[in-house]
Amino acid sequence: MTSAEELFAEVAAAHPRCVWLDGGGARDWSGTRSLIGWLDDDDVSLTYSAARREVLLHAGGRSEVVGDDIWQALEDEIGAGEQWFGYLGYACRADLPAAPSTDVPDAVWLRPSHLMVIEHELDGHFLDLTGVPVPVQSRDTRSTGYPTPPPATYPQAFAQIQEALRRGDTYEANLTYRTTVETEADPVETYLRLRSINPAPYAGFLQHDVADHRAWLLSSSPERYALIDEDRTIETRPIKGTTPRGETEEEDAASAEHLRTDPKLRSENLMITDLLRNDLAMVCEPGTVEVPDLMKVESYPSVHQLVTTVRGRLREEITTVEALRRLFPAGSMTGAPKLRTMEIIERAERELGGPRAAYAGAFGWISGDGPADLGVVIRTLTTHDRHTWRIGTGGGITVRSDLAEEAAEARLKADRVRASLGR
C-alpha cells in the first residue's frame, strides 16, 4: 500500500464520518493533491432527505432538523475559513423533477476538524495507483469479467426518448439506469480496488456512518461539475461522447479519431456545450463566458472521452452556493433543454432500477471563502448498509442513437465499477 492508502484505511476504521478527495489519479488539469478529513463526535455534518424535505444537522450523537433546503442550509452553515466536503444528489433541487432517493441520503456534507494534505507524484497524465507510473498511452481493454447488462425495460425507455426527440420536446436526453449488486463488501477495500482499476481526477470516498442516515460514496469520476477559483472564475468540463480503447495502437487511434470526427458524437457534445454556456450566462458577468477547449479527446484506461471546457466570471451578487445551485444538475446528465428533458427522463427511467439518488449529482468541496471544486457523480458506487450496492450508468441519446450501441456504452462504463466489488 502507499502511505495515502494506509492512512485512509486507519482513518476510516477509527472515524464513522470521514472523506478522501483523492488526487492520486490526477490529470494534468486537476492537480495531484489528496485531502483526507475526519470528524470528531461533536463535529457537524448535514444530511438531506428530498422525500421529507428535511435537512438534519448531526453532532454529538444527536440529530436535529435545521431546514428544508440543502442549498440554504449550506449558505447558513458554511463559515468563513471553513471547508466542507460532501455530495449533492440528483433530487437536491425541489423546483426540478427528480425522484427522491430511497436508500442513501439525497445529500451529505461534512465539516472535518482534522484535515491532512498529501501531494502525489505525477508522471504522465495519470498514475497507476500501485505507485508505478503509467504512460499516457497506456490502456486496459481487457474484459473485467463482471457484466452489468441494462434492465429488460431499457429498450422501452430508449423508445420513449426517441419519441420525445422526434416530437421536438428535447434535442438530447441522458438516459441512465441503476444496477443493484447484493454482496457484503468492505467500503475501504472496495474503494482501493476501484481507484486501481479506474484511476480518475475526481476520485474520492465519503463515509457517513450515522444510524438511519448512513451513506458510503466511492467515486472514480472523470468529469468536472464546477471549479470556482479565488478570482471567482467558474469552469465546468462537460463530457459527452465515449468510445472504448482499442486492442492495438492502430485500433486505439482509430477509436479516438472516430470520437473526434463522428457527427453524432460531436452533436451530442455541442448541444450540451450550448446548454452549459446558457447556464453559466445566468450567473456570470456579461461577455465573460467562453469555450477555451471545444471537444477535446481525453483518454482513460478503458475509454476515450470527448470533453469541452466552458468558463466565465461570476457576477458580484452570486455566491458560490447559489452558482452551484443554478447549474445543478450537470447539463451533461440531463440533456437540452434542461427542464423539459428532466421531465422526459424522469418518466422514462421509472422502471430502470430506481431513483438516481447520488448518481448524476456532484461531489467535492466548498470553502466559506468562495472557492469550490466538485466533480459529477458518475463511475460511482453507493451503499447505505455495505451490502446493497448501487451503480448508475447511461449516456446521451439523440435521434441518431442506436439502441445496441447505447446499451453497450452504458455497460462499458459500469463494468469497471462493478469489478471493484469482486465476484
Is there a contact between 208 and 47 (Cβ–Cβ < 8 Å)?
yes
Can you tell me the distance from the alpha carbon of 263 to that of 308, in angstroms, rounded to the nearest whole number?
A: 16
- The grid coordinates of residue 17 equal 464520518
- Within 8 A by CB and 6+ apart from 115, the residues are 35, 36, 37, 83
335: CB partners within 8 A, 6+ apart: 170, 171, 172, 173, 174, 271, 272, 275, 341, 342, 344, 345, 396, 397
Q: Exposed (0-12), middle (13-18) or buried (19+): which is 266, by Cβ within 10 Å? A: middle
The separation between CA 26 and the C-alpha centre of its own chain, rounded to angstroms, equals 15
- Any catalytic annotation for residue 343? no
**Sign of the CA dihedral running 278, 283, 287, 289:** negative
Q: Which of 240, 268, 349, 413 is catalytic?
A: 240
Residue with cell 471547508: 83
Max Cα-Cα span within the chain: 59
Contact 105, 47 (CB under 8 A): yes
Q: Give the chain's radius of gyration (CA, Å).
A: 20
Report d(CA 59, CA 47) in Å as an integer.
Answer: 12
Catalytic residue selected from 172, 223, 268, 298:
223
d(CA 139, CA 126): 11
CB atoms within 10 A of CB 264: 14
Specify whether 240 is catalytic. yes
As given in the structure block, the three cell numbers for residue 174 are 441522458
Residues with catalytic roles:
223, 240
